[in-house]
Amino acid sequence: MPIPDYQTLMRPLLQLAADGKEHKLRDAVTLLADHYCLSEAERSAILPSGTQSVFGNRVGWARSYLKQAGALRSPRRGHFVITERGRQLLQTNPLSIRVATLAQFPEFQAFRNRRQTNKIDNGTMLDMDSEVIFDDTPEDILASAHRLLCRNLEQEVLETVKEASPTFFEKLVVDLLIKMGYGGNRQDAGRAIGKSGDGGIDGIINEDRLGVDVLYMQAKRWEATVGRPEIQKFAGALQGQRAKKGIFMTTSTFSREAKEYAGSIETRIILIDGEKLAALMVEYNVGVSVVEHYEVKKVDTDYFEGG
């Protein structure tokens, strides 16, 4: 199942606190993950910032909004307990507790008023009180916006790569592999490109900085789908070099037969299609540059220890 959004988590979190005991937020995350039968992958999914799990973040925001509404309180850091208002809210037996439910309480209305309408760059008014805005946590919204920006950038990068010359494409491939930690330096890698003399291999690059092992490459700036015959040809060239692994990059796609063949032979051949190539270029800053940088901060709990 998909990881529940933070609004879905508000009712079960309040029910968890209904025993009147003081609960640790960390324990609540585990209990609610068990309640929703989340898989290990869903439990361990991390926010793009890498600082917190997605599920833990959403449980944290559920607690935060319930606190803003006066349904929970925090007797000490990292803990929560139900209030009389929280008990009264549960007594109404709501099917769910959402932002619209909490809007009946003056404390929550005051909280929402502090998040009044903001202007965005094009002059449109963004209503921070709307249910749409509250459907996701701020971290979820940032992550979604970041993914959208990356997808658009990757498409633009791929279109630009396809317009480049075959020679430039070979250089681009080497630059990318160097950024990924292969090849040592640009000068060494440059001498390796195009010097194998084998029609099925476009270049050779060190797999590590010491040159203990090498990678054989095939780089095709194609529009047409790469089929099985091209992969067979590359595999034969690798066998001729007694090589056990190679990388085949293309600006287009691979056919199903090509993928099946690459996965069935002893020689390890990594297939990187245009979409994957563009994604790697964006990830390793090849052909792209940073235009904006945003800092997302959180409370430094170590600073307040013993305070």
**pLDDT (0 to 100) of residue 130:** 39
3-state secondary structure string, 292-305? CCCCCCCCCHHHHC
**pLDDT (0 to 100) of residue 188:** 59
Q: What is the mean pLDDT of each run of 10 residues along the chain (307 residues)?
A: 90 96 95 95 85 89 92 90 96 93 91 56 37 62 81 88 86 87 65 50 72 80 92 90 88 95 92 95 91 76 66
**pLDDT (0 to 100) of residue 189:** 59
Tally Cβ neighbours within 10 Å of residue 217. 25
**H helices within 136-245, ranges in order?**
138-163, 166-179, 186-192, 228-240
**pLDDT (0 to 100) of residue 253:** 95
**pLDDT (0 to 100) of residue 211:** 62
Q: Please provide residue 192's backbone torsions phi and psi, each rounded to the nearest 5 degrees.
A: -80, -30
- For residues 202 and 196, what is the distance between their CA atoms, to the nearest angstrom? 7
**pLDDT (0 to 100) of residue 135:** 62
Q: For residue 2, what is the DSSP state? A: P
Comparing CA positions, the residue from 152, 157, 189, 195 lying closest to residue 173 is 189
**pLDDT (0 to 100) of residue 95:** 92
Q: Is this structure's pTM higher than 0.95? A: no
8 A C-beta contact, residue 64 and residue 77: no
**pLDDT (0 to 100) of residue 125:** 34
Please, which residues have CB within 8 angstroms of residue 225's CB and are 6 or more apart in sequence? 252, 253, 254, 255
Beta bridge partners of 219: 249
**pLDDT (0 to 100) of residue 128:** 35
H or E element: which one contains 219? Answer: strand 214-220
- For residues 200 and 235, what is the distance between their CA atoms, to the nearest angstrom? 8
8 A C-beta contact, residue 173 and residue 180: no
